[in-house]
Structures are given as structure tokens and as C-alpha cells.
Structure 1
Amino acid sequence: MHSEEMMKKVGNELRKIRTQREFTLDELADRTGVSKLTLGKIERGETNPTLGVMWKITTGLNIPLTKLVSVEPSVAVSKCGEGFSLKGPDEAWKVEFIFQNQIDSTIEMYRAFLSPLATYCPEPHHKGLIEVATVMEGRIEMKIEEELYELKQFDSIKFEGSHVHSYKNLEERPAVLHLLLKYEE
């Protein structure tokens, strides 16, 4: 699915959820911290929101990120570089969705790419969300609350995603991670 088609799907799904919950755009803006103007553009499929904006929306609605972007074919192949992706505000961090809502509606998987020597500090996620990160290429320093953890290729870390955390690429080449997010049922 092309990015424009996906953004229209995201917008339609967001509008559907908002109307089912009987929220106005103003109420949704208050819940999420995302402006009414931006939410309207997303609902109309006129903008490609950053990952941070998507996290704010899904956290405010208490839904998995893939709820807004799920596509459900009977057989799915996720090829690197060909799927729907979102970038962080400085474009040093990029995530590609893997099997959007295909495994279980409470699990999300992503490929993440972090530019050389860059740091990415995501918005804290939903309370109760468990995040598992595996370094596929490179070396990463994870900061979770005030603790530092160094991870090399194929090392994994599991933590509560609502904790303040960051990813720092320690090398002068891009780092690649596999992320799994598990929501409470």
C-alpha cells in the first residue's frame, strides 16, 4: 500500500474511533496533546504525521499504534524498505511496521533504524505496555529511567514502555533494531 493510501486509511480509522467514542476534534486534541488542526489534517489524509504525533494519539486513545494502520491480507510478507514507515522529528529514527495487526491485536512489531551516533527519545508509551528491543546491527545504549544498558548485535532488552527511555547509536554506521510492543489485553 502506498503512503498516500495508508494515510487516508489512518485518517478514516482515526475518525471512526473518534466518532464511536463520541469525541469532538477539540476533545480529542485535549486528550492527546495534538492540535485540532493537525488531527483534522490526519483524518482527511492530508498529512503524514511523525511517529511522536502518532504515539500521542494512540496513547490518548489508549489503543495500539497498529489499530490505526492495520491491513489484513491472508498472507503477508514484510520486506525491509517496502512497508509503511514513520520517522522521528529529526529523521534520525525510522520505524517500519511489520505485519500490521497480523499476529495479535495486542502485539506490534517494527524494524527500527537509528542514524550514526544519533539518539532517539520517544514519547512514553501506554501504561502496561511491554517493549522488547533486539539489536540486529550495531551497538546501542539504552537509557531506561536513569539506568544505562549497552546492547550489541543480537542482544535484547525488555522493559515497561511507559518508562522514560531512549536509544543511542554508539557507532558511526546505522543501527538496526527489531522492536516488539505488547499491550495489556
Structure 2
Amino acid sequence: MSDLDQLTQSLARNLRRWRGERGYTLDGLASRAGVSRGMIIQIEQARTNPSVGTTVKLADALGVSIATLLDQDQSPTLRLVPEDQAVRMWSTPAGSSSTLLVGTEQRGPLELWAWKLMPGDTSTSDPHPVGTTELLHVEEGTLTVAVDGHDHTVPAGTSAVFESHVPHGYRNDGAEPVRMKMVVSVPPHP
């Protein structure tokens, strides 16, 4: 079984599990997530690989991290995630990418990300649930963070924190690649 097949199976299994634990019907989850009922059925039957945006919407609607939806094996004690098991969520032909390194559900979903943005590349995000916070640290390059229509320049060696329940995104307006680490903290599901 390929890595993509394993990821598809894990997502299907975990989406069914969390939807059941939350007591959501297919229609209820579709309404909360803004994703069609048919798409949810296809995902739960492992017949499709949804976009990053769809996966984020489903995770947000369920109040879990993306790591939880994609995780193949969650251990109750220490869980190691080798580099080859980190989940590449998006990439561009220019070489930009974001990789989910690890996540947890303790006191609400918490995710650690590694990002690389090539010159000229952009990544935008829909608003997350109220109470979601993003922390980032730029290791190389100069990052432009757009938060609710306002641009902020974050040079190498600088950290930033913001509430991400508003439209936001990341841009590399410079000539050098940007490398950063980011932590996303989502409030616990009610």
C-alpha cells in the first residue's frame, strides 16, 4: 500500500470516528464545515483525497487538529514522528511547502508545522474557529503575514503571534526562501 493510500485510509477511519464521537450526522458535519455531504461520504469511504482546504474545514468543524484526522497511530504515551512520516500538506511547483510535523488533542488541538515559502509564493487561509492562535518563528528570509487585511513584515530571527479567526495568509515578497516553524492552537471542542 502506498503512502497516499495509507493517508487516505487513515483520514477515512479518523473522520468517521470523530464524526461519530461528536454525534454529527453527515448533513450536520457538512453544514458545520461548509463541505458537501457527498464529499464527506467519499472521504469516509476512502474514495478521494480531499484538498488541504477541505481537510482544514473538516478538522475545524470537528474541533480536532489536522494531525488527528491524518494520524495513523496515536499512542497514549510518547509518540515519535520520524521525518518520513511528517505530512506534507501543500507544495508549489516553485518549491514552497508546508509540513505538519506533529499535533495533539490535549486541551484542544495543538499543531507544530514546518514551512518553506519560495520567493513570490503565497498561502492564504480561511478564518479558523474563534480562539485559535498561531505562533510562528521565521528562521530564514523575510515573511509577510497578512492578518485581516493588514500586512506585517517578519524578518529572520523574529517571532509573531496572532488570533487566526480572521482571514490570514503568508507571503514571500523577498528574493530568498523563507523557512519558519509555526504552532497552531485550536480551542477545545465544546
TM over 0.5: yes
Q: Judging changes above 3 Å, is the alpha-carbon distance between structure 1 residues 126 and 3 closer, same or farther for their aligned structure 2 residues?
A: same
Please report the TM-score for the alignment, with normalisation by the length of structure 1: 0.84
The answer to whether the 8 Å contact 2:145/2:170 transfers is yes
The match for 1:145 is 148
Bigger shift: residues 59-68 or 102-111: 102-111
Number of residues of Structure 1 aligned to a counterpart in Structure 2: 184
The answer to whether the 8 Å contact 1:116/1:173 transfers is yes
Matches within 5 A, 1:4-153: 4-70=5-71, 71-72=73-74, 74-79=78-83, 83-87=86-90, 94-101=97-104, 106-153=109-156
Q: Judging changes above 3 Å, is the alpha-carbon distance between structure 1 residues 175 and 104 closer, same or farther for their aligned structure 2 residues?
A: farther
Q: Judging changes above 3 Å, is the alpha-carbon distance between structure 1 residues 87 and 139 closer, same or farther for their aligned structure 2 residues?
A: same
Please report the TM-score for the alignment, with normalisation by the length of structure 2: 0.82
SS where residue 125 of structure 2 aligns? coil
SS where residue 121 of structure 1 aligns? strand
**1:135 aligned partner, one-letter code:** V
**2:10 aligned partner, one-letter code:** K
Unmatched 5+ stretches in structure 1: none
Unmatched 5+ stretches in structure 2: none
Q: Judging changes above 3 Å, is the alpha-carbon distance between structure 1 residues 119 and 181 closer, same or farther for their aligned structure 2 residues?
A: same
CA RMSD of aligned residues (A): 2.7
**2:90 aligned partner, one-letter code:** K
Residue 175 of structure 1 and its aligned partner are, at CA, apart by: 2.1
Equivalent of 2:164 in 122, 136, 161: 161
Residue 105 of structure 1 and its aligned partner are, at CA, apart by: 5.4
The answer to whether the 8 Å contact 2:138/2:179 transfers is yes
Task: Determine what percentage of the aligned residue pairs are the same residue.
Answer: 22
